[in-house]
């Protein structure tokens, strides 16, 4: 049974056109993360929520925003995608500090 679900699996967007990626979880975990992973690189943390508390990484561009309307859902908004934003975007959840993270299958974003 899927526990962290990302939609869509593949997203193609036009340069500069806002795009939203979604993530849902059935685990009732407190923490939700968004990572960006480019080809052959490490996943890079963009931001995370601990419950409703939003934590932005210092080097996350302003072009990236996130919303968490409730425990189950979290969204990644890219306001004006550039070619350099093409990547795999990974959502993950964890119950609390000091526990394992559960990842979705990712959304591969292509910018044309």
Partner 1 sequence: SQQGEEDPQALSIQEGENATMNCSYKTSINNLQWYRQNSGRGLVHLILIRSNEREKHSGRLRVTLDTSKKSSSLLITASRAADTASYFCATDLYSTLTFGKGTMLLVSP
DSSP letters, 16-37, are: T--EEEEEEESS--SEEEEEEE
Q: Does 14 interact with partner 1 (rule: CB under 8 A)? A: no
Of the candidate residues 42, 62, 70, 83, the single one contacting partner 1 (CB under 8 A):
42
Please state, in angstroms and rounded to a whole number, the distance separating the CA atoms of residues 4 and 32: 10
Site string for partner 1, 64-103 (x = CB under 8 A): ------------------------x-x-x-x-xxxxxxxx
Residue 32's contacts (CB-CB under 8 Å, 6 or more residues apart) are 23, 25, 48, 49, 68, 74, 91, 92, 93
We find the least distance from the C-beta atom of residue 44 to partner 1, in angstroms, to be: 8
**Sites of contact with partner 1 (CB under 8 A):** 4, 6, 31, 33, 35, 41-45, 48, 50, 55, 88, 90, 92, 94, 96-106, 108
């Amino acid at each position: 049974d899927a526990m962290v679900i990302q939609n869509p699996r593949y997203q193609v967007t036009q340069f500069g056109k806002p795009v939203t990626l979604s993530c849902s979880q059935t685990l009732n975990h407190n923490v939700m993360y968004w990572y960006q992973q480019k080809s052959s690189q490490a996943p890079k943390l963009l931001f995370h929520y601990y419950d409703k508390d939003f934590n932005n990484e210092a080097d996350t561009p302003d072009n990236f925003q996130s919303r968490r309307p409730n425990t189950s859902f979290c969204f990644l908004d890219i306001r004006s995608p550039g070619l350099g934003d093409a990547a795999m975007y990974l959502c993950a959840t964890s119950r609390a500090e000091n526990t394992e993270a559960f990842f979705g299958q990712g959304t591969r974003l292509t910018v044309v």
